[in-house]
Amino acid sequence: MYPVSEQVPSKQEKKALLDDMIEEMKTKYQRLVEHPEEREDADELNRRYSVVKNRATLIVAVDLFRSYELAIAYNERGQLFYRMIEFDKAVEDYTEAIKYCGALAAPYYNRGTIRYRMGYFDLALPDMEKAVQLQPSNADFQKGLQETREQL
């Protein structure tokens, strides 16, 4: 992402980059929703991604991938807000990540962690449960759920 010769960007610079990336992806995603005829030619994409067998599957796959990309970007920006001790903004971004990809466990865990640390154990519990449901083998998620249950 950053050339080796450049300095590592600050948290604010990373946040600005993620802000731009999120806005760009949201714009592209919304444009695809509103103008499906502007999607790339299905035959070309089928050649590039041989797993995709038909146009309907392709359209769904592209939409899911874009949603997943947005979810990852929101989760990453949420992490930056968390590190900057801007918990309300972090929770908003984790919630957006969940909106775009509810199958991604990390935003649930991250949002649950903030709620736990703020003493909102009743709000943290469903997030921790969902994170464990999505990734039952994750030891950190299991521990977070256990600690949250102990507080109730």
Summarize pLDDT for 104-141 with one digit per residue, the tens.
999 999 999 999 999 999 999 999 999 999 999 999 99
In three state form, how does the secondary structure of the chain look? Answer: CCCCCCCCCCHHHHHHHHHHHHHHHHHHHHHHHHCHHHCCCHHHHHHHCCCCCCHHHHHHHHHHHHHHHHHHHHHHHHHHHHHCCCHHHHHHHHHHHHHHCCCCHHHHHHHHHHHHHCCCHHHHHHHHHHHHHHCCCCHHHHHHHHHHHHHC
Quote the number of domains for the chain.
2
Summarize pLDDT for 39-76 with one digit per residue, the tens.
554 445 444 544 444 454 545 555 656 778 888 888 99
Same domain, 33 and 68: yes
Same domain, 82 and 135: no
**pTM reported for the whole predicted model:** 0.65
Same domain, 51 and 117: no
